[in-house]
């Protein structure tokens, strides 16, 4: 019997790189908050509402991204649409996270114009040198961030000696009516920048990158009319294949911090502030990852300054209970929204995350636990989580937040004692 071999036809389309990309995810994230009615931030948020012992949230998110490349040009867009149902009712918000045009006339030169995120810094939970970006949420550092409208470029050069790579990245960021107006509002400088810029401003930054003796090193400079001048540097190095160390150092000139005492007097202090971070990442032979970071925020509030704010809240709450006058609480709410209730508002923190890939040979399963400790008042949050990715394109995550601390401590005065959230995210 004769067998005829099947003819194979080569299709160029099977290996050609497509000029476009479309993708994204849809997400459903229900949340249950168990409230602490004795906490200062509970009193600020709910003093005139009866929300019970718990609040529920139903959060929906659709994030889409796409790109198209033709010749030296590439267009990229990432958009985010949120729909939320909380104790306050339904709300929705749509945002362009990134949208920019890239031109790459050669391997050495690269130009971008539009809205983008720069991701400067080597830290995982914090990035004190990220002068051009919004701050991360240490509770979920991998979340995508909204960028700013900028004009930037890159020059890259490779070498054969100890210096393997050098790059130079200049950035211009304008603040004008309708463009980047929130850049000066404390998002990247959360302890006391003015809430709005005064007139049109141009801000400039530059980053020098060196791959020197297998160590990544950046030197960063920022100046402009929206914020004071600041300098930064960072590094990252693999000591062994399983051990990496990284760090950041940021210096802010003439930083203005505003804080309140227990009687309601507002103070303004201007000084040169220094922030820094040092971290290690270690992977064991059994696929356990340890990530440890120490962060000092030189622009943050001291223990006494935070304690004064909490005392002011309690004073306002007692006045409201006895007289019905909520003037002090409204003032406290404004201060809390701007500074005091943000993530890690004080000066010294420790971050530890331990994750284990596929324990007991359970495929696609990764449990983890995260601690964020305020070293000044010993309060902390502890967050165990379970992640399962065994279904194609579907990610399931369960997280619980235990918030622990005494009176007048940062975590002790959070509005929640406990929080649990489930996230189902489908990628396409």
pLDDT recorded at residue 15: 58
Please check the confidence at residue 1 and state whether its pLDDT lies above 50.
no
pLDDT band at 338 (very low <50, low <70, confident <90, very high): confident
* Confidence band of 203 (pLDDT split at 50, 70, 90): very high
Q: Is residue 326 predicted with pLDDT exceeding 70?
A: yes
The full set of domain ranges for the chain reads: 34-427
Q: Which two tokens stand for residue 419?
A: 């929080």
Task: Give the separation between CA 228 and CA 230, rounded to whole angstroms.
Answer: 6
Residue in this structure with the two tokens 């030169």, named with its chain if needed: 109
CATH of domain 34-427: 2.40.160
Rounded mean pLDDT of 284-300?
97
8 A C-beta contact, residue 45 and residue 413:
no
CB-based contacts of 217: which residues, under 8 Å, 6+ apart? 209, 210, 211, 233, 234, 235
Q: Quote the CA–CA distance of 45 and 55 in Å, as a whole number.
A: 12
The pLDDT value recorded for residue 12 is 53
Per-residue pLDDT of 157-188, as tens digits, reads: 999 999 999 999 999 999 999 999 999 764 33
CA diameter of the chain: 102
CA distances from 13 to 7, 16, 17, 132 (A): 18, 5, 8, 40
pLDDT at position 118 over 50: yes
> Residues 370-399: pLDDT tens digits?
999 999 999 999 999 999 999 999 999 999
Go through the chain and tell me how many residues it has.
428
Share of the chain above pLDDT 90, in %: 88
Summarize pLDDT for 29-86 with one digit per residue, the tens.
Answer: 999 999 999 999 999 999 988 898 999 999 999 999 999 999 999 999 999 999 999 9
Which long-range contacts link 325-328 to residues 24+ away (Cβ below 8 Å)?
326/47, 326/48, 328/264
Dihedral sign for Cα atoms in the order 284, 289, 290, 291: positive
CB 299 within 8 A of CB 271: no
The model's pTM is: 0.91
Report how far residue 378's alpha carbon sits from residue 369's, in angstroms, rounded to the nearest whole number: 18
Token pair listed for 29: 């994230």
Percent of the chain whose pLDDT exceeds 70: 93
For residue range 228-266, list pLDDT tens digits in order. Answer: 999 999 999 999 999 999 999 999 999 999 999 999 999
Question: Could you tell me the pLDDT band of residue 274, with boundaries at 50, 70 and 90?
Answer: very high
């Amino acid at each position: 019997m004769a067998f005829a071999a099947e003819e194979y036809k080569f299709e160029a389309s099977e290996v050609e790189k497509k000029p476009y990309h479309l993708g994204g995810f849809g997400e459903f994230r229900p949340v249950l908050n168990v409230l602490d009615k004795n906490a200062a931030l509970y009193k600020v948020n709910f003093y005139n509402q009866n929300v019970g012992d718990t609040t529920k949230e139903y959060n929906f998110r659709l994030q889409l991204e796409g790109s198209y490349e033709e010749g030296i040009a590439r267009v990229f867009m990432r958009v985010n649409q949120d729909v939320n149902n909380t104790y306050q009712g339904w709300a929705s918000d749509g945002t362009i996270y990134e949208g920019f045009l890239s031109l790459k006339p050669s391997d050495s030169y690269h130009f971008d114009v539009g809205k983008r995120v720069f991701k400067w810094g080597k830290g995982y939970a914090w990035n004190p040198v990220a002068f051009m970006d919004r701050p991360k949420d240490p509770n979920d550092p991998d979340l995508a961030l909204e960028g700013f409208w900028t004009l930037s470029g890159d020059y890259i050069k490779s070498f054969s000696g100890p210096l393997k790579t050098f790059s130079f990245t200049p950035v211009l960021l304008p603040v004008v009516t309708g463009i980047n107006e929130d850049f000066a509002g404390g998002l990247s400088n959360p302890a006391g920048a003015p809430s709005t810029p005064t007139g049109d401003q141009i801000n400039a930054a530059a980053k020098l990158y060196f791959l020197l003796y297998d160590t990544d090193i950046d030197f960063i400079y920022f100046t402009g009319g929206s914020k004071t001048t600041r300098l930064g540097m960072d590094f990252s190095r693999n000591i062994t294949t399983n051990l990496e160390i990284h760090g950041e150092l940021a210096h802010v000139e003439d930083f203005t911090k505003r804080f309140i005492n227990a009687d309601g007097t507002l103070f303004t202090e201007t000084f040169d502030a220094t922030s820094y971070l040092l971290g290690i990442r270690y992977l064991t032979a059994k696929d356990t990852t340890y990530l440890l970071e120490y962060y000092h925020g030189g622009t943050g509030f001291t223990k006494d300054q935070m304690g004064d704010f909490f005392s002011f809240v309690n004073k306002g709450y007692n006045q409201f209970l006895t007289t019905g006058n909520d003037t002090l609480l409204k003032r406290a709410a404004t201060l809390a929204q701007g500074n005091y209730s943000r993530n890690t508002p004080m000066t010294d923190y420790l971050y530890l995350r331990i994750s284990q890939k596929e324990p007991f040979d359970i495929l696609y399963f990764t449990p983890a636990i995260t601690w964020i400790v305020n070293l000044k008042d010993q309060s902390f949050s502890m967050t165990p989580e379970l992640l399962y990715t065994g279904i194609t394109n579907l990610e399931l995550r369960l997280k619980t937040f235990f918030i622990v601390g005494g009176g007048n401590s940062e975590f002790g005065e959070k509005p929640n004692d406990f929080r649990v959230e489930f996230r189902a995210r489908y990628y396409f």
